[in-house]
Chain A
């Protein structure tokens, strides 16, 4: 099954992302993880989400991460690491979380397979109809959110000499 193979790849690369010491390698593994998520969306026939995931995550967000990492000149030598005790504790806490989630899931009955009830559901045409009819107000508000974020980011990152010195 394609799903299980891609899911396996996602988990492997997600683990590599958080355990690699070099931050630049970490970002590159994250790019591959996002690419496998794009494949998952294609498998679900959510074509619009696949394209948006590809453009926004692999394009915009990853370029932003890489730019900041290279701007700050981080590498393996300057990478701060936690002590081994904290790492082990964190891993145990994470395993507790996943055990709880799986345990609660086992209480459910075996679910039905995911089938495409409506094959057109993920297409741009169908989603556009829903987005601009039922979700028009949230859509407009999200544009204000993006504008606010842009202004905030520029304001925060601007090098204001007077304020730094004073």
Chain B
């Protein structure tokens, strides 16, 4: 374990911010270019994970465990969000026989 942790030593905090920004942006692009509702939810998970990692990195950087507790709460929230979101998608599929988000456009007004 000690030798593994050595691999992190010396990485500037900026590189963690840069890496998390890239993953977050990939998530944003995924939401924008796909029409499959399930893949859009997966992109949202990607964005949540990027933020989680950055919170953990800041927590280690400043030596404060609150950040990691916060990540734990975000994970609980993500689990709840996925359960409800997928239930909604299953219901939409049952009614429209498709997971295309375009089929949801009739929800307007």
Interface residues of A (CB under 8 A from B): 1-4, 7, 10-11, 14-15, 17-18, 23, 26-27, 30, 33-34, 37, 40-46, 48-49, 52-53, 56-57, 60-61, 64-65, 68-69, 71-72, 74, 78-82, 86-87, 89-91, 93-95, 97-98, 101-102, 105, 108, 110-119, 121-122, 126-127, 130-131, 134-135, 138-139, 142, 145-146, 148-150, 152-154, 156-157, 159, 164
A-B pair count, CB < 8 Å, reads 259
Closest Cβ neighbor of A44 among chain B residues? B60
Which residues of A sit under 8 angstroms from B1, Cβ to Cβ? 42, 45
Q: Give the residue of B25, B53, B90 whose beta carbon is less than 8 angstroms from that of A94.
A: B25
Residues of B within 8 A of A (CB): 1, 4-5, 7-19, 21-23, 25-30, 32-36, 38-39, 41-43, 45-46, 49, 52-53, 56-57, 59-66, 68-69, 71-73, 75-84, 86-91, 93-95, 98-100, 102
Please give the distance in Å from B96's CB to the nearest CB on chain A.
11
List the 5 shortest-distance A-B pairs measured between CB atoms, nearest first.
Answer: A2-B7, A117-B63, A90-B32, A149-B80, A18-B30
Closest Cβ–Cβ distance, residue A54 to chain B (whole Å): 11
Instruction: Establish whether residues B60 and A113, one from each chain, have CB atoms under 8 Å apart when the complex forms.
Output: no
For A68, the closest partner residue in chain B by CB is: B86
- Give Cα A135–Cα B60 distance, bound, in whole angstroms: 19
> Judging by beta carbons under 8 Å apart, are A80 and B7 in contact?
no
**B74 → chain A closest CB, angstroms:** 10
Structural contact, B7 and A3, CB atoms closer than 8 A: yes
Compute how far the CA of A30 lies from the CA of B84 in the bound complex, rounded to whole angstroms.
Answer: 20
Bound complex: CA A60 to CA B42 (Å): 14
Nearest CB in chain A: distance from B7 CB, A:
3
Q: Are B11 and A79 in touch, CB under 8 angstroms?
A: no
**A157 cross-chain contacts in B, Cβ below 8 A:** 87, 90-91
Which residues on the B side are within 8 Å of A61 (C-beta)? 45, 78-79, 82
Residues of B within 8 A of A4 (CB): 11, 15
Question: Which B residues are CB-close (under 8 A) to A48?
Answer: 68, 72
Does the CB pair B29–A94 fall under 8 Å? yes
CB contact between A115 and one of B9, B27, B52, B68 (< 8 Å): that residue: B9
